[in-house]
Chains A and B, each alone.
Chain A
Amino acid sequence: MVGLSVGEKHFIQGGIAQDLRSDGRKRLTYRPISVETGIIPQANGSARVKLGATDVIASVKAELGKPSPFQPDRGKVAIYVDCSPTAAPIFEGRGGEELSAELSAALQRSLLGGKSGTGAGIDLSSLSIVEGKICWDLYIDGLVVSSDGNLLDALGAAIKAALSNTGIPKVNVAASASSDEQPEVDISDEEYLQFDTSGVPVIVTLTKVGRHYIVDATSEEESQMSSALSVSINRLGRICGLTKRGGAGLDPSVILDMTSVAKHVSEQLLNNLESEISAAEACEEES
């Protein structure tokens, strides 16, 4: 909870109405984004994304597992978010649980596509090793280290960065005699396959304050919101998932307007993020 005086609230709302926010940004400008990759050696891929004072870490771990009987030719992906009490005292104990569940659900909706797996940012069929027998299970974990608003966008960006940093070991399958047996596999520790992340969408959250909406709200600005729309958009400009937060109702035309604005903003964000990711990866290789 952000404790704000009446004057501060008016200042924030008035600034947004005049397209000049308290930190000098315009309504549709993001805070500077910084990306670090490969920060967790134990994980297959990891990244840390800072968006102003918001700081999140995403890690990707791959384990061998069994595909579900309904989708034998696909791997499985699980996304969980943890809100650490270090970020805010309210996350202590069970306080962060609700937010964690909400963020996890929103990320799953944005990245995993429909039930059939089409439209997913992560290509699940590339995780299959032996159809119906063995596949990779990807565990994507997000951690909120410091929270200053716009967690979802930051987590989305961190996951994208972590996935592009992910190397999945090459697996050699020994030719097994019978089809019933679990085939033997040999995991290579030298050869890694890179993950194709060009299809992974970015998430743009538009927060409605008064009659206007802003991107990348700080927690002060978020405390003044009536509702927020998180839209995930991929390279092709297609919408891959949408979540609404906040109880206040919105007019349908406003929602359509917001999605088209989100689409516009996403292009810049995507370019910005991708150049940051490649810079971070180049930096990692040097060291």
Chain B
Amino acid sequence: MFCSTILTPHALIHLHLLPSLQAPAPRKILRTGAVNSASGSAYAEFGNTKVIVSVFGPRESKKAMMYSDVGRLNCNVSYTTFATPVRGQGSDSKEFSSILHKALEGAIILDSFPKTTVDVFALVLESGGSDLPVVISCASLALADAGIMMYDLVASVSVLKIGLGLPFGLGYAFQSLEARQFWIPEVSSVVHGVSGEEESYQDGSLMITCMHLLVMRITQLTITGEWSTPKIHEAMELCLDACSKLGKIMRLCLKETASASQE
């Protein structure tokens, strides 16, 4: 849609190993203004993962809250009951809410709205793997749409590690935007039914959220599974590169909305 697909040799080698995971080029949609009643909102669709985020505020903090000379950020991630193949089995949304909060708070200029609260509500309509990075990117787009002052947009990308013993190049599936063809969903629901096979392929994951425009700043980083330092190094580079590309697409999306509203 916006960007050309870049085939990296790593991913290609990997594809041969896992032909069953060769999904057709998934759709990627990023759009602002999905909800009219909200101050700002965005909709993101990356493959089968569909997410909607609305931002309300800055508005009065709840009465019980103490006075604060900086603004508050309140984040909530929830799953629809039909987001997953088994009804009501979304991932831990409490943990997601806290990661979303931590990923965004470093980017928002909280001093610009003292005494008030900005609410960020994310709803995962369909869980198709890599939910959290999509939620984070979409939320930062919604914040921008709401006109909340930020240092920069936050883009988020995750990679999965596959095969502990394999050399690095063989062991990666991409969840980044420019290489969506090679993605392996974190939740294996997308690949027909939940077979233990796909699930067992994931040996670890790394998720990065970062700001990119002026200086590179990682606002959130989580790693699971066993990694050696050079592997982390390489995976981070991969993610940062993908983040900068995603960031460009997000900017483009905002520009389009702005120019459309002027006309």
What is A's interface to B at a CB cutoff of 8 Å?
Answer: 70-71, 98, 101-102, 105, 109, 112-119, 227, 229, 234, 237-252, 255-256, 259-260, 263
The answer to whether residues A114 and B222 also contact, given A249-B217, A259-B229 and a CB cut-off of 8 A, is no
The answer to whether residues A113 and B224 also contact, given A71-B196, A249-B106 and a CB cut-off of 8 A, is yes
- In angstroms, Cα B214 to Cα A251, docked, is 12
Q: B50 contacts the other chain (Cβ, under 8 Å)? A: no
- In angstroms, Cα B164 to Cα A234, docked, is 15
Q: Is the CB of B102 within 8 A of A260?
A: no
- In angstroms, Cα B104 to Cα A137, docked, is 36
Residue of A nearest to B151 (CB): A249
- The stretch among B24-32, B34-42, B90-98, B117-125 that forms the contact with chain A is B90-98
Among A119, A229, A238, A252, the residue within 8 A (CB) of B236 is: A252
Q: A240 — which chain B residues lie within 8 A by C-beta?
A: 225-227
Q: B192 contacts the other chain (Cβ, under 8 Å)? A: no
- Top 4 closest A-B pairs, CB basis? A249-B217, A119-B226, A114-B225, A247-B105
Q: B186 contacts the other chain (Cβ, under 8 Å)? A: yes
The answer to whether residues A114 and B202 also contact, given A98-B98, A247-B106 and a CB cut-off of 8 A, is yes
Q: B48 contacts the other chain (Cβ, under 8 Å)? A: no
Q: B219 contacts the other chain (Cβ, under 8 Å)? A: yes
Q: Is the CB of A238 within 8 A of B98?
A: no
Q: Is the CB of A105 within 8 A of B95?
A: yes
Q: Is the CB of B224 within 8 A of A244?
A: no
How far does the Cβ of B69 sit from chain A's closest Cβ, in whole Å? 15
- In angstroms, Cα B239 to Cα A28, docked, is 30
- In angstroms, Cα B232 to Cα A263, docked, is 13
Q: Is the CB of A239 within 8 A of B201?
A: no
Residue of A nearest to B95 (CB): A105
Q: B253 contacts the other chain (Cβ, under 8 Å)? A: no
Q: B200 contacts the other chain (Cβ, under 8 Å)? A: yes
Q: Is the CB of B229 within 8 A of A101?
A: no
Q: B63 contacts the other chain (Cβ, under 8 Å)? A: no
Among B107, B194, B222, B225, the residue within 8 A (CB) of A118 is: B225
